[in-house]
Chains A and B, each alone.
Chain A
Amino acid sequence: MNKNKDIWKPFEFVDDRSYFIRIGPLRLWMERHDEEWFLAYDHQADEMGSTIVSKPSKGFIKKPDSISWHRIVATTDTNRITLFPVMDELPIVVGAEPPLIILPRNEALIFINVPVSIRIAAGTKKQVILFELPSVVLSKTWVGSPVNGELCLSLKTSAVRRKEYLTDKPNRVGCPVLIKNQSAKPLELEKLCVHTENLGIYLGENRLWTNKVVITHLGVNKNSEVRRVKGAPGMEENELQVASPRIPAKDGIFRKSFDLFKILVEN
């Protein structure tokens, strides 16, 4: 059992007690007084493991004075807190470095480690979302022409060929992408724009996974066909869905494919 999985388990929150939560580079402090939730956070440069500790337990880190509290008023049936991994609202552009060249009539399965956002929910039967914040602050980038394009997040990570090569980080979700080159020319892949907001999240034995995505490249001047494989990706045993797609993909495979995923061929 991977201890990074424990972070997604619900825990009972005791009033007037300070809690410290770490999920990768995200540090989170929580308190509850007089039916008000207090929440503060920052992001560290290095990506550490995951932990939930209350004061004065070992490992508790005091909130720096420079970070201010967010006050949230929410009536909940219980003091149970659950952290959920959710995908960001914006698509993510991933750089393949060095560029991956897929020869005609070949296919390649790649894995991308995408950071998740953290949704903090309180309650048991009727959960109330208290807050949502990114586990990593990513820089923004633009895909398309300056006149007509879309805003994305930029992820500096390499696409790996085997799932074992994905680094085990609690705040990252493995996204399996199968790229099929059905064109007559080699496909040079420098960047991928992944519409992760259309993907669900599954918790396996060791880590988080998204749906599998299949891209069929038909040629430079032709649109690529993209398909999101429904259900668990089958990368591990006992995969359980923990988050639905933030934005459900539109109906129609062909239309959906362009909304879901795009191949950017750099000139």
Chain B
Amino acid sequence: MFAFITDLFHRLSNVETLLSIGQVFLFIILGFILLKIILIILSRTLSKTASPQMVMLIMKIVKYTGIIVIAFAVLQELGINIGIILGTAGVAGIALGFASQTSLSNFISGLFLIAEKPFEIGDVININNFKGTVISIDLLSVKISTFNNKYVRIPNELIIKSELMNITRFPIRRLDFNVSVAYKEDLEKVQAVLFSIAKENRYCLDNPEPVFIIKEFASSGIDILFGAWFLKTEYINTQNYMMIEIKKRFEEENIEIPFPHLSLYAGSNTASIPIEINEKKKDI
């Protein structure tokens, strides 16, 4: 042991060895500085023309390739035979390839996702009951941040196989409200009130005009679909404003929003069971 330490000390005290170590450190520092500069230039150039996910992908490829190149250069500088390492890596690669079929599948799916571009970073997507904003599109998975700020990692293979909804793909959206009104109500008046609510709402667009569809004569009332268009960034404001205004205006206009109810008939086809409400007298 003592002999080994002495030998090492002698080797290190050798000027040539020290120079070689210094060269290696210089190599590492300069290599990483050069890589950083290349990444910055590449990022600035690509961001003008390519999509964010393409920029992210290219940056990662360049970054990891650069690190491997620096590592090989350092090993060569240290006098280690790279051929042996590459040979070992080849054998290990075959073994890893068998073991990482899922990763390979995700990788290929990732390439398809980047080519097809069903969504971009910043889009709001809905997949497998997860709804959130896309924060990263990588080669193996897509990361989303849910609205209650949870981090979800979805493998690319799953995205390719599943039905996906991109909620913010188009600049404007239609917000649909299922409104039910009592049978006694004048439907034309209901239509006019709903249109005026949308018109007065600063978050709703004048054009395209709102949609008004009488869906069905349901058991408790008449079901109506009312859809108002809005800018995709104004979802919460539009939803809250419309819900508040519909309730308020219906109350002002004496339009009844029915709740599920059941009428029982006792023998007669025309009259319902008379109900007598007895108010309980308060004890004085």
Residues of A that sit less than 8 Å from B by CB: 93, 137, 139-143, 146-147, 149, 151, 154
Contact = CB atoms under 8 A, between A and B. Distances in A.
Interface stretch (B53-61, B141-149, B158-166, B200-208): B200-208
B170 A143 contact: no
A145 to B, nearest CB: 9
A142 B229 contact: yes
B172 A139 contact: no
Contacts of B229: 142, 146
Interface string B173-214: 010000000000000000000000001001011111000000
Given A154-B206, A154-B207, A139 B199 contact: yes
Contacts of B274: none
Interface in B99-132: none
A146 B207 contact: no
Contacts of A140: 202, 205-206, 231
Contacts of B170: 146-147
A114 B206 CA distance: 18
A137 B200 CA distance: 11
Contacts of B171: 146, 149, 151
A137 B206 contact: no
B202 A139 contact: yes
Interface of B: 170-172, 174, 199, 202, 204-208, 229, 231
Contacts, number: 33
B206 A146 contact: no
A157 B205 CA distance: 17
22 contacts: A93-B207, A137-B202, A139-B202, A140-B205, A140-B206, A141-B205, A141-B206, A142-B172, A142-B205, A142-B207, A142-B208, A142-B229, A143-B207, A146-B171, A146-B172, A146-B174, A146-B229, A147-B170, A149-B171, A149-B172, A151-B171, A154-B207
Nearest to A95: B206
B262 to A, nearest CB: 42
A137 B229 CA distance: 19
- The CB with the most chain A CB atoms within 10 A, among B172, B199, B205, B206, is that of B206
Contacts of A141: 205-207
Contact of A146 (B199, B202, B204, B208): B208
A147 B170 CA distance: 5
A141 B198 CA distance: 12
A114 B229 CA distance: 25
B22 to A, nearest CB: 53
Name the residue in A139, A143, A151, A154 with the highest tally of chain B Cβ atoms < 10 Å from its Cβ. A139
A40 to B, nearest CB: 19
Contacts of B202: 137, 139-140
Given A146-B174, A151-B231, 9 more contacts: A93-B207, A139-B199, A139-B204, A139-B206, A141-B205, A141-B206, A142-B172, A146-B172, A146-B208
A147 B174 CA distance: 12
Contacts of A93: 207
A142 B207 CA distance: 5
Nearest to A140: B205
Contacts of A139: 199, 202, 204-206
A215 to B, nearest CB: 20
A93 B208 CA distance: 13
A133 to B, nearest CB: 15
Contacts of B172: 142, 146, 149
A140 B231 CA distance: 9
Nearest to B169: A147
A151 B229 CA distance: 12
A93 to B, nearest CB: 8
Nearest to B201: A139
Contacts of B206: 139-141, 154
Contacts of A143: 207
A151 B204 CA distance: 12
Q: In the complex, which of the residues A140, A141, A147 has the most CB atoms of chain B within 10 Å of its own CB atom?
A: A140
B271 to A, nearest CB: 50
B233 to A, nearest CB: 11
B53 to A, nearest CB: 21
A142 B199 CA distance: 14
Nearest to A143: B207
A224 to B, nearest CB: 20
Most buried by A among B170, B172, B174, B231: B172
Nearest to A264: B207
Contacts of B174: 146
B56 to A, nearest CB: 26
B207 to A, nearest CB: 4
A141 B210 CA distance: 12
B89 to A, nearest CB: 49
Contacts of B199: 139
B79 to A, nearest CB: 61
A192 to B, nearest CB: 13
Contacts of B205: 139-142
B95 to A, nearest CB: 49
Contacts of A147: 170
